[in-house]
Amino acid sequence: MMVMPMGPDFASALGIPMNHLGIVGGAYTASATVVGIAGSMLLDRWERRSALTIAIVGLGLSTMTGALAVGSASLILARVAAGAFGGIAATLCFSIVADLVPEERRGRATAVVASGFSLSSIVGVPAGLELARRGGWRAPFLVVGMVALLLAVAARLLLPKLRAHLDTKEVAAPLPMDARMGMSFVAFGCAILGNFLLVPNLSAYLQINMGFPREHMGLLYLGGGLASLATMRLSGIWTDRSRALWPVLTGTVLVSLALLFGAVLQPPWLPPVLFFSVFMSCNAARWVAINALASRVPPPSARARYLSAQNAFSHAASAVSAFASAAFLSEGPSGRLIGFPALAATAAVLGLGVPFAVWRLEAMLPARRHALPVPVPAEF
């Protein structure tokens, strides 16, 4: 959320072609994929709080190294390091949510934690873009890295020890794979393949193709983040009260319509603000529902390993999409992206597989049951 909106800024400073921005985004996700595969064998062997603290420290330090980049190669290496730690941190965050919160309230809990993504749009992206405008593109890397180090201290001091998953012999057993896990991977894969064809290039498309002013990009992400914050909470409540299929199906229809009228049809029928807000908020809503549903798939003793394998698969899909977007696109006069309508149409078609996969996965799962017997925070 910090790096991609600044794409045009550091691309100009480092001489990176605009149609290669997907490679920078793909470096992070490709690294997270490799580390996620390793985590699928090891993560449940460690106490969750300590592992999370180490991961956040690594994420902070590696993010700060992005400020030292002198070209595309050094920036990509910095993002590879950040992806390695970031993938582990994300896995452990949602493992902790699933450990602490019973299934019947997990949709809302997932929405609360995942709202950090929206807050990164509301606060982080506008602040990062303003820092880049005033202090250069390197400043956001340094600030975000320092904030991560502070959060690592907070995690160590405020989270309880989480060892209940260690009190079973199953923690050392191979990760059990079955049809339910495969179907959850399909749901994530369809959603992420479509999203990451667009996300690394979205800022450039909005500014160069749609003519949205660079100085107002922070406000655009602020609006998209506020919309996402609302839809994520609604999606979590809707998932808990009924089933995950309905917010997923609704989000998919709205995302497809936004892509059709905001990117496939040229000139676009939607203004940049509406196109961006619908795309971001509806994707966020269905992401919450899919995550809450997927948390019901593994047993507690395999939860972190399963989520690590799931994240590895998701990051692999992200990396493939980000790299593939560079093949779809070419750079026209004044940096204009050529081929974006075909890219958006492909993303919309891929997204149509998400509701089908969620429907099949819900049919495979038993009725909701309680998670580990750990005290639940009152706000959930």
Dihedral pair phi/psi, residue 338, rounded to 5°: -95, 130
pLDDT digits (tens, 9 = 90+) for 217-273: 778 878 888 888 889 889 989 988 888 999 999 999 999 999 999 999 988 899 999
Name the pLDDT band for 380 (thresholds 50, 70, 90). very low
180-184, 196-200, 240-244, 297-301, range with the lowest pLDDT = 297-301
- Residue 174, domain member (yes or no): yes
CB 35 within 8 A of CB 87: yes
- Residue 377, domain member (yes or no): no
- Residue 124, domain member (yes or no): yes
Nearest to residue 19, comparing CAs of 341, 316, 332? 332
Q: Is the pLDDT of residue 185 over 50?
A: yes
Total count of domains within the chain:
1
CB 206 within 8 A of CB 258: no
pLDDT at residue 373, rounded to an integer:
42
pLDDT digits (tens, 9 = 90+) for 310-319: 777 777 777 7
d(CA 321, CA 374): 39
d(CA 270, CA 195): 19
- Residue 307, domain member (yes or no): yes
Q: Is the pLDDT of residue 103 over 90?
A: no
Share above pLDDT 70 across residues of the chain, in percent, rounded to a whole number: 91
- Residue 375, domain member (yes or no): no
pLDDT digits (tens, 9 = 90+) for 274-290: 999 999 889 988 988 99
89-93, 119-123, 266-270, 352-356, range with the lowest pLDDT = 119-123
pLDDT at residue 320, rounded to an integer:
81
Which of the pair, 15 or 353, is modelled with greater confidence?
Answer: 353
pLDDT at residue 169, rounded to an integer:
54
- Residue 379, domain member (yes or no): no
Q: Please indicate, yes or no, whether the overall pTM of this predicted structure exceeds 0.85.
A: no
> Both tokens of residue 188?
């994530």
pLDDT at residue 345, rounded to an integer:
92
CATH number at residue 324: 1.20.1250.20
pLDDT at residue 120, rounded to an integer:
75
Which of the pair, 348 or 178, is modelled with greater confidence?
Answer: 348
d(CA 371, CA 365): 15
Which of the pair, 130 or 36, is modelled with greater confidence?
Answer: 130
Q: Range of 268's domain?
A: 4-162+170-364
pLDDT at residue 64, rounded to an integer:
93
Across the range 155-176, mean pLDDT stands at 69
- Residue 370, domain member (yes or no): no
Q: DSSP string covering 29-42, please? A: HHHHHHHHHHHHHH
Collapse the DSSP code of 331 into the 3-class scheme (helix H, G, I; strand E, B; otherwise coil) and give the result.
Answer: strand
63-67, 106-110, 134-138, 341-345, range with the lowest pLDDT = 106-110
Q: Is the pLDDT of residue 171 over 60?
A: no
Q: Which residues contact 236 (CB under 8 A, 6 or more apart)?
A: 107, 108, 109, 110, 111, 112, 288, 289, 292
- Residue 303, domain member (yes or no): yes
Collapse the DSSP code of 153 into the 3-class scheme (helix H, G, I; strand E, B; otherwise coil) and give the result.
Answer: helix
Across the range 151-165, mean pLDDT stands at 85
67-76, 233-242, 326-335, 340-349, range with the lowest pLDDT = 326-335
Mean residue pLDDT of the chain comes to 82
Q: Is the pLDDT of residue 121 over 60?
A: yes
